[in-house]
Structure 1
Amino acid sequence: MALSSIANPDANSNPSPKKRRKIRPENQVQIHAEETRWKTEAEQQIYSSKLVNALCHLRPPDSVSASCRSVREAADRVLANSAKGRTRWSRAILTGSLSLRLAQVNRKHKRATKPMTGNSRLKKPAVKKKLPPLQRKVRVLGGLVPGCRNLSMPNLLEEATDYIAALEMQVKAMTFLTGLLNGGSGGGTLAESSGRLGSHHSFTS
């Protein structure tokens, strides 16, 4: 044994090279699905059709600002439904309206029950420590993506990537519908535009 090791010193000094992990076919399909999500024409057509149906059932707004807000909320709800609850941002949008109402009720209740004393008015707000630049940017990004304020950076980046792709599809779909309503295909109402979606096979980029 000693003679063989001395005769072949490279046998022990050079370990075998590490084998690269092969990507299985099912993993390739999953990666491809994640990369093309929200970018297929079928998904855009389905979203546009559901969006038109949701807009047709909106109540007449009292003002222009209320109209813009209701359209935006309807578009976001349809987008969250299209995600089928697989992402944190979609679940946050679907439960956001209820959570907002509960938060408003709780704030009113706290204001009504909290006694105002002279000492409480004299208290100075606590000084917040400054975060490093990277953590500040992560916190800002977490505030922009619904339901992702306290996520770790890898999970936040994954959610943000999916959310941005979904918003891009939303913009394309709403631009396409705006063109239909403004006379790009003869004008008409939302109901008529819903009927035209099946005959159109491309969205404006």
Structure 2
Amino acid sequence: MASHSISNPEANSNRLPDSKRSKKRRRIATENQAGQLHNSSTENQTRWKSTSEQQIYSSRLVEALRQSRRTSSAPATGNGVRKTAYRVLAAAAKGRTRWSRAILTNGLRLRQQHKKKKVKVTGGIRSRKPVVKKRLPVLQRKVKVLGRLVPGCRKLSFPNLLEEATDYIAALEMQVRAMAALAGLFTRAEAEEADTSDRLGSNLS
């Protein structure tokens, strides 16, 4: 009987109390979720480093800039180009990450932040309570700063924040490579155009 109970782990697990079985299920589910997050993050980082993804992003960025130039009468500014580049980057992530969804919905969030805060008035004088800031430990302060730097990740747990930050950094590195390549192409095109105009001018003279 003893050997039968040892060789049958399923029967032993069924004898566990409900609380222990529920804890075991939660632990297994958490481990599976962590494994899925790690696999998806690794896949996304590999995708951001591929040449094909960079070319797709570059073509979509050029098309988005052309579209914004056609629809807007004002000349493109650095801030406008930056916003367009981030929107195209978030669209390339296809909403699989929290930071990409935050960038795509950033306009709505900015409008919601302009709500006026109510201030209590007592006896015709506005009362303001003194703000007492508690000093956080060094690690918590760094985690808080990192959550502010990654869009939409201020209230994430530390493991999820690391996953989002790793993917976000890989996407930004791809964006820098693509925009540097585009800048080089535009510079060469402008130089060739200026050279052609100079030649035409010298031939006409």
Query: Which TM-score bucket, shorter chain as reference?
Result: 0.5 to 0.7
Aligned: 1:39 with 2:52: no
CA contact (8 A) 2:57 2:88 kept: yes
Structure 2 gaps, min length 5: 1-35, 194-205
Q: Would the alpha carbon gap of residues 82 and 117 (structure 1) be closer, same or farther in structure 2, given more than 3 Å must change?
A: same
Aligned match for 1:61, one of 74, 99, 104: 74
Query: Post-superposition shift, 1:126?
Result: 1.9
Q: Following superposition of structure 1 onto structure 2, how do residues 6-85 of structure 1 map, counting pairs within 5 Å? A: 33-58=43-68, 59-61=72-74, 67-85=77-95
Where does residue 161 of structure 1 map in the other structure? 166
Instruction: Output the CA distance in 2 between the equivalents of 1:154 and 1:175.
Output: 32
Instruction: Output the CA distance in 2 between the equivalents of 1:156 and 1:146.
Output: 10
Instruction: Output the CA distance in 2 between the equivalents of 1:31 and 1:135.
Output: 23
User: What's the % identity of the aligned pairs?
Assistant: 58
Aligned match for 2:111, one of 94, 101, 105: 101
Structure 1 gaps, min length 5: 1-26, 189-205
Aligned: 1:174 with 2:179: yes
What's the CA shift string for 1:35-81, capped at 9, x where partnerless?
Answer: 4120000000000000000111222436xxx7111100000000000
Instruction: Output the CA distance in 2 between the equivalents of 1:153 and 1:29.
Output: 17
Instruction: Output the CA distance in 2 between the equivalents of 1:60 and 1:168.
Output: 31
Q: Would the alpha carbon gap of residues 29 and 115 (structure 1) be closer, same or farther in structure 2, given more than 3 Å must change?
A: closer
Where does residue 23 of structure 1 map in the other structure? none
Q: Give the TM-score of the pair, scaled to structure 1.
A: 0.66
Aligned: 1:140 with 2:169: no
Paired residue total: 154
Aligned: 1:89 with 2:99: yes
Amino acid at match of 1:41: T
Q: Would the alpha carbon gap of residues 185 and 40 (structure 1) be closer, same or farther in structure 2, given more than 3 Å must change?
A: farther
Instruction: Output the CA distance in 1 between the equivalents of 2:141 and 2:125.
Output: 30
- Secondary structure of 1:70's match? helix
Instruction: Output the CA distance in 2 between the equivalents of 1:151 and 1:96.
Output: 18
Instruction: Output the CA distance in 2 between the equivalents of 1:31 and 1:162.
Output: 6
Instruction: Output the CA distance in 2 between the equivalents of 1:178 and 1:32.
Output: 29
Q: Would the alpha carbon gap of residues 30 and 100 (structure 1) be closer, same or farther in structure 2, given more than 3 Å must change?
A: closer
Where does residue 194 of structure 1 map in the other structure? none
Query: Post-superposition shift, 1:99?
Result: 1.4
Instruction: Output the CA distance in 2 between the equivalents of 1:30 and 1:132.
Output: 31
Q: Give the TM-score of the pair, scaled to structure 2.
A: 0.66
